[in-house]
Amino acid sequence: MPPRARKTCLDVERERPVGMPTAEEKAEVFSALVENGLSFIERSASELEEHLTLSIAHFAAGLELVLKARPSTGR
């Protein structure tokens, strides 16, 4: 039995596959991730003396968000 041909749906107005984000949408997501990551890191610093465990958890979450945020490279 031959393999099935993949069907792709194109958004005619945008000439790209449906569901693929635009460059503006990617930039918004990148900005939101970095902003939230930095917010967690700032909160971590403010909680350092009173809630060490929460501070470490917030720092780790913030660092993870910042590291996972990648600007679009056009690929």
Residue numbers in the chain where pLDDT is lower than 50 = 75
Q: What is the pLDDT of residues 17-34, one digit of tens each?
A: 677 888 888 889 899 999
pTM to 2 decimal places: 0.66
Residue pointed to by tokens 């945020």? 69
The pLDDT score that the predictor gives to residue 23 is 84
Q: Residue 60's closest CA among 71, 50, 68?
A: 68
Domain ranges of the chain: 23-75
